[in-house]
Chains A and B, each alone.
Chain A
Amino acid sequence: MTLKLGIPSKGRLMEKTFDWFAARGVTLRKSGSEREYAGAVDGINGIELVLLSAGEVPRELDSGRIQLGVTGSDLVREKLSLWDQRVVEVSKMGFGGADLVIAVPQSWIDVDSLDDLDAVAAAFRAHHGFRLRIATKYHRLTREFLREYGVADYQLVDSQGATEGTIRNETAEAVADITSTGETLRANGLKILPDGMIHASQATLFRARRRNWTQAQRDTFKFLETKLNY
C-alpha cells in the first residue's frame, strides 16, 4: 500500500508546494500533459501523488482516501469539526498566508472592537427588524469565533466570492473574509477590527489518523519525516 499525498491541483499553491518538497529532496511533478491531474513522486518510494482542489483535501483526509494532504489551515478548521482529533499538522509550510478577519465599513467610526460590533448588532436589529448580516464563506470558523466572544444578534449570509462587495450591495453589513495585506478590503471602504482576527492561515501539510495504516505506510511516513526534518 502506498501513501497518498493530496496537493492542490493548480496555481501558485501547487507551484509553492512543489518547491517546498523539492527543497527537502522530494520531487513532485505532474505527469503527462499540463492539463492532466496525474502526478509522480521522485526521491522517495511508496508515495503516490493525488492532485485535487485545496477545498477537498480536508474531506479526503478525514475519509481516509488520502493519508497526507497540503491545504490551508483555515480550510481544515472550517470543514472538519473537532479537526484536531481528525487530522494532525505535520508541518506548517510558510507560504499561502492569509488571515480570516472581520471587517466593517470605514464609516463606522464608532466601531473599533467586537464589543462595539455586538452593541451595533443589537441596535441594528432594533432599528431594522432583522439581525445584522455578516457575509462569509467561513461559517463554522466565524460562528465559533463570535460565540466565544459573546457577539449576538447577527446572522451569517453565505458569500462564495467578492465578499468585500456585499456591503456596498446592501446584502450584508459586515464581512468575515480572507485577506493577506488588507488592501482589497481597504480599497472597498472597509476596515479590519483590531480584535477581529479569526484565524491566521497558511499552507500546511496534514496527515490523517493512522489507525488503518499498514506497516509499509507507517515506514514510508517515517522515512518522509526524516527528509522533511533534515
Chain B
Amino acid sequence: MSADISQDIWDRARRYQSVLVGHGASITDADVLQPADTLLDLYGEDIRARTFTTQDPLRGEQMLRPDFTVPIVQQHMEFGAEPARYTYLGKVFRKQEAHETRPTEFVQVGFEVFDGKDVAAADAEVFATFADILADVPVAPMTGDIGILRAAVIGLKTSERRRAALMRHLWRPRRFRALLDRFGSVTPIPAARAALLSNANAMANLPVVLGLRSESEIALRIEALQDDAAIGPISSFERDLLASLLKVRETAPNALALLRDIAVDLPSISAAIDGLNMRLDAMAKRGIDVDALPFEAAYGRTSMEYYDGFVFGFSSNASLNIPPVATGGRYDALTVILGGGTGVPAVGGVIRPDLVALVEAAQ
C-alpha cells in the first residue's frame, strides 16, 4: 500500500475515533499477540483458517489479534465498572485463504458499550453513532436480531437436549437444517442406528475400550439416544414456522408485523419481538428513519458467531464486492463466557476506514 493511502486511512481512523470520544468513549487498546487458547476455545479450530498463529517459547501458541472485541471484553470484565464506553483503533490481522485480493491486515476503529440500564437505548446508540459517521458515504444499513432466532429454538416443543443441539448449531445453517430434519423425522433413522437402539444389551459386547472416552460416557450417550428415539418428532408445523421466520426480510415495520403473526403460533419469540419494537422506538428517537430500515431475520447468522441479539452492518453496492464497511451487534453471552460465569449486557461495532475510502473512491 502506498504511503499516502496508508496516511489517509490512519487519518480517517483518528477522525472516527474522535467522534466516538465525543460520544463519551474512553480510549483503550489491546495487545497484538493474543493467547491462542482463548480464541480457539471460543471459535473452535476454524479460526486457524482465519488467524495468523505464532509461537512464543514461554507463553505458548499466540495469535495475531483477529479483532479487538475479545481482549476488550476481558479487560472490562477484570478491571472495568459499568456503565462504560470504550473506543480502540488499530490493525487486525486475518488470513485470506479464499480471497487472495483481500488485505491480510487492516485498520479497525471500534466502539463498545457496556451499559445494561436500557438495552434498547444502547443498541440504538451504537447503531446511530455508526450511521452518523457514515452519513455521507454511499452505504446501506442492514439489521437483524439473533435473539429472535434463539427464542424460537427455545420455544420448540421438544426435549431440552434437542433444543441445546439446535442452539449449538444456530450459526451453521447446513448443520442446523440437518438436525431439524432428523428431529422432524424427515431423515430416516440409519440401519446401524436402528440396530443399536433395538439391542437392549448393546454394552455387553463392547469392543475393548480405547482412549480417554470411557465406557460410562458411551453408555450415557446410548441412553440419551434411546431417550431421544422415544420422543416424538418436531412437528412440520413448528418446522414451517422456523422456516418462515428465517425468511423474513422486510422494512423494519413490516418485519415487525410478520414476526407478530409468527408469534401467535410461536409465543416464545414474543419477548424478543417486544425488544425489537423498543429498539426501533429508541432508534427513531435518535433520528433513524426506521420506516425504511431493512431487517432480515437470518442476518448475521453465518458470519457473526458471538452476536446473540441485535446485529447490524453497513454495506456498499454489491458490485464493489467488498465486506460491509461497518458491522456490530450485541454479545451478552460472550461476556458470560469470558467473565467466567458472570456477564454484562454489551453491544458494539467496528468500522473499517480502508473500505470507506474504497467506497468513496468508487463514487
Contact = CB atoms under 8 A, between A and B. Distances in A.
Interface of A: 81-82, 105-110, 112-113, 115, 118-120, 122-124, 127-128, 131, 139-140, 143-144, 146-147, 149-150, 152-156, 167-168, 170, 172-173, 189-190
B210 A147 contact: no
Interface in B208-241: 208-213, 215, 217-218, 220-222, 225
A144 B217 CA distance: 28
Contact of A106 (B46, B175, B207, B222): B207
A118 B44 CA distance: 12
Interface in B263-308: none
Contacts of B361: none
Contacts of A119: 165, 221
A33 to B, nearest CB: 40
B172 A152 contact: yes
Q: How many residues of B sit at the interface, in one of the four size bands?
A: 35 or more
Nearest to B187: A115
B174 to A, nearest CB: 6
Contacts of A108: 213, 218
Nearest to B217: A127
A143 B45 contact: yes
Interface stretch (B128-136, B188-196, B316-324): B188-196
A173 B169 contact: no
A109 B202 contact: yes
Contact of A110 (B48, B174, B175, B225): B225
Nearest to A142: B45
B217 A170 contact: no
Task: Give 4 nearest A-B pairs by CB, closest first.
Answer: A150-B175, A150-B172, A105-B210, A106-B207
B168 A110 contact: no
Given A143-B46, A150-B172, A150-B175, A123 B206 contact: no
22 contacts: A105-B210, A106-B210, A107-B208, A108-B213, A109-B206, A109-B207, A110-B196, A110-B221, A110-B225, A112-B192, A113-B190, A115-B182, A119-B165, A122-B165, A123-B220, A150-B169, A152-B172, A155-B40, A156-B45, A156-B48, A168-B210, A168-B211
A127 B216 CA distance: 11
B100 interface: yes
Interface string B17-41: 0000000000000000000000011
A120 B213 contact: yes
Contact of A82 (B44, B97, B174): B97
B173 to A, nearest CB: 9
B222 A110 contact: yes
B100 A82 contact: yes
A167 B168 CA distance: 26
A135 B10 CA distance: 43
B217 A124 contact: yes
Contacts of A147: 46, 49
Contacts of B206: 107, 109
Nearest to B192: A112
A150 B97 contact: no
Contacts of B3: none
A111 B169 CA distance: 19
B257 interface: no
A150 B174 contact: yes
B209 A105 contact: yes
Contacts of A153: 44
A208 to B, nearest CB: 17
Contacts of A131: 40-41, 44-45
A82 B45 CA distance: 19
A124 B215 CA distance: 13
Interface in B44-66: 44-46, 48-49
Nearest to B209: A107
A152 B211 contact: no
B213 A173 contact: yes
B175 A107 contact: no
